[in-house]
Amino acid sequence: MQFRRSVVDLAGLPDISAQVLAEAVFPHETGLSLLIAPAEGERGEEVTEDSTRRLLHAVRARYDTVIVDCGSHTSPPGATAVESADTALLVTTPDVIAVRAVNRTVRMWDRLHIRKPRELLTVVNRHGRTGPVQPQLISRITGTPVAGSVIPAGFRELQDAQDSGRIQDLDPRGAVRRAMWALAAEIGLADAAAVAPPGRRKGKRP
């Protein structure tokens, strides 16, 4: 995906109108509207806490659902987004190194009064049923609730979609895509009945 505008183009504006926002947003074929990072990574420093607040206010006024990817490192703009979010998710793989990193982030956010552990939701990605690090253990280590919907380690299912850069083309019947929809339903972004696995909906026999 290539687009000539990015979030940096809005960072220095004192007021972000609906028209200005529409010109900076990339309309994706899936129906999503994307406000992308700058091609030059160092320009991300131009996005400040104040500009983040203005930007969040502008997109919330225009869209029903806003998802902010804050990355794996905490920055002032990212902290502002986490602090003001209705739902804050932390994503981890079920291994000791990743869970320790999540735990450090949780403690830092608590110390800085960004978000309390109980106000976060940890999502387990690449989950395997036989691994030693299971969601219950992750919850105990991090002190956060863990989403009931875990994303399975479906590497074979993901390979073609990842290589082509088209995650939206995942098999609707596959475990990974169904798990993602289940997570969306769990956090209130989708209708739980509409994303039930085939053969499991009310009134139908498996």
Tens of pLDDT, residues 106-148: 999 999 999 999 999 999 999 988 889 999 999 999 999 999 9
Tens of pLDDT, residues 56-109: 999 999 999 999 999 888 899 999 999 999 999 999 999 999 999 999 999 999
Tens of pLDDT, residues 1-21: 778 889 999 998 989 999 999
pLDDT given for residue 102 in this prediction = 97
List 34's β-bridge partners, or say none.
Answer: 26
Q: What is the mean pLDDT of residues 39-65?
A: 92
CB 98, CB 158: distance < 8 Å: no
Could you tell me the two tokens for 53? 């607040």
Higher pLDDT, 120 or 160: 120
Q: Alpha carbon of 128 to those of 92, 198, 200: distances in Å?
A: 13, 22, 22
